[in-house]
Structure formats: structure tokens, C-alpha cells
A and B are shown apart, each in its own frame.
Chain A
Amino acid sequence: MKNKLKVLRAEHNLTQEQLAKAVEVSRQTINAIEKEKFDPSLMLAIKLARLFKTEIESIFIYAKD
């Protein structure tokens, strides 16, 4: 799954560490999501969408591998 997490994080001037703390995961998890190596759970996707005040679909884009 593709995502715009890195762009959104940069727009909000957040480090990976700060974003990780805000959504209660490890920095490694944020890094893995940004590099599209790991797809987050629905709960984490909702947390991220709420934090950036946007829709889940505007952060995560479903694409067949």
C-alpha cells in the first residue's frame, strides 16, 4: 500500500520520533510505514488520519503489488 505519511509529517514539521510518540508506536514502525515496508492496522491508520485532520484515503492509497 502506498502512502503520503512522509510528506504529511514534513508539512507538519514533525520528526519520526515525535509522530511515533503522538500515535503511541515506535519510531521503527513510523519509518517502516513511510518506506512502505509495513501496512498499519486500521486503528493506527485512524490515529494518523485524526492527527493530520484528514481522511484515511488521503494518506493511504490502495495499490495492488
Chain B
Amino acid sequence: MTFSMKTKKQQILNLAGWTWSWVATLALATFGPQFIWDDHQLLTILFVGLNFANGIAMVIANRHFFNSLDELQRKIQLEALGITLGLTVIIGITYSLLDTTNLIGADAEIGFLVGMIGVIYFLSTLIIGRRYA
């Protein structure tokens, strides 16, 4: 795929759309059973499935976004992803270890890991991008 700013912007908007709808369906699947449809099992299954399908669409949109980048931008993203993956494994295992050895009071939550992935990815993209500025 050849690079163009227009295509890149379209892919960013596409990815943003799928990401927001994934967050929305996640919120519905999480809080819906308690606050909207009174633990109706079929509706819960439907929304969990919808959230999962939405997640797949988000991954595909992310792939399209990646393919719309030029070679330097891909290199930046790749380095950022490498750092994010490495740190996630290290911090995730340490966090889990802190929980299982009772060194922290609260239980290890997957939400913490997901949030941390976002922050690390954002910061590493920013820092690596500045290196090529």
C-alpha cells in the first residue's frame, strides 16, 4: 500500500471509531446486566458476543492503520510495540507476583494492565517519534 496523508487520516478515524464502539459495547456488556436489562442472560450473551466481534473489527482496523503508515512511521510503531510488549510482560508478572505473595493488599486486576499498556504505548511512541524529528 502506498502512503498518503488522506489514507492515513481515514484509517486513524476508522480505528478511532472501532475503538470507541468497542469501549461502548464493553461498558454495555459490563454494566448492562445490572443496570439496564436486569440480568437477562440472553441479552448478556448477546452483548458479550457483540463486544468480542467489535474487538476483532478493532484489531483489523489497527492492521489497516499500520499498513497505511510509511516506513519510518512503521519503524516507530514497531519499536514502541516492542517496548510495550516487553514492559507489559515484566510489569505484569511482577504485579501478579506481588498479589500472589500478598505484598500488596488489593487483588491484581487486568484493567490495571490494560491501562498500563495504553500509557506505555503512548509514551514510547511519543519518545521514539521525537528521536526522528
Which A residues contact B (CB, under 8 angstroms)? Answer: 24-26, 28-29, 31-32, 37-38, 40-41, 44
Are A28 and B75 within 8 A (Cβ)?
no
Residues of B in contact (CB 8 Å), total 13
Are B73 and A37 within 8 A (Cβ)?
no
Are A31 and B71 within 8 A (Cβ)?
no
What's the Cα separation between A28 and B75 when bound, in Å?
12
Interface assignment of B70: CB less than 8 Å from any CB of chain A:
yes
Are A29 and B70 within 8 A (Cβ)?
yes
Looking at chain A's contact residues, the main secondary structure is loop
- How many A-B residue contacts, CB cutoff 8 Å? 35
Find the A residue at minimum CB distance from B131.
A37
Q: Tell me, rounded to whole Å, the shortest Cβ–Cβ distance linking B122 to chain A.
A: 18
Are B133 and A29 within 8 A (Cβ)?
no
Chain A residue contacts of B72, Cβ below 8 A: 25-26, 28-29, 32, 38
What's the Cα separation between A40 and B70 when bound, in Å?
11
Are B132 and A26 within 8 A (Cβ)?
no
Chain B residue contacts of A31, Cβ below 8 A: 132-133
Quick one: which of B71, B73, B131 has the most chain A CB within 10 A?
B71
Are B3 and A32 within 8 A (Cβ)?
no
Find the B residue at minimum CB distance from A35.
B132
Known: A37-B131, A37-B132. A29 touches B71 (CB 8 A): yes
